[in-house]
Amino acid sequence: MIRVPHLLVVEGDRRAAELLARIFEVDDYDVSIARDVDLALKLARSERPDAILLDLELPTDVHGGDLLRTLRMDATLRDVPVVALSTAFELARNDFGVFGPNAVIRKPLVEESLLLLLDRVHGFAPPMFEPDLPLATA
């Protein structure tokens, strides 16, 4: 039996979260959605996703960056690849030090770039940023 990769999408906007889920479900990912940090942490701990797609600009009191730091300090979750989504690409790339994401994608998203990058990250490639990919459209 072929193992289906599991992705946790952490996105505060319901429509954006559902769209991201559909994109990955078409490519045979099993997807869970969390719209806030508390649920995201609970799902990450209970489901142990293969990768996490994290909006750094969650519309909640707790910033996505706080969740990222918590994931990186948790012994059972620190090795889960995290792809961060942000409109502030340079800030997201440089703001976290050793607690940073494996990759950052600038919003608005380009579906092909997102799929390619997640495939690379899920394949346990070393931490990277992909400035040469077409990460956003004008």
Could you report the per-residue pLDDT of 28-58, keeping only the tens digit for each? 889 999 999 999 999 999 999 999 999 988 8
CA distances (Å), origin 98, targets 12, 127, 135: 25, 11, 23
| Cβ-based neighbours of 61, under 8 Å, separated by 6 or more | none
DSSP SS3 for 20: helix
Which pLDDT value is given to residue 135?
40
Joined together, the tokens standing for residue 69 give: 């730091």
The residues of the chain scoring below 50 in pLDDT are 124-138
The domains found in the chain, sorted by start residue, are 6-122 (3.40.50.2300)
- Taking only Cα atoms into account, the Rg of the chain, rounded to an integer number of angstroms, comes to 14
Q: Which two tokens stand for residue 130?
A: 């992909």
Q: Are 60 and 34 in contact (CB under 8 A)?
A: no
At 32, is the secondary structure helix, strand, or coil?
A: strand
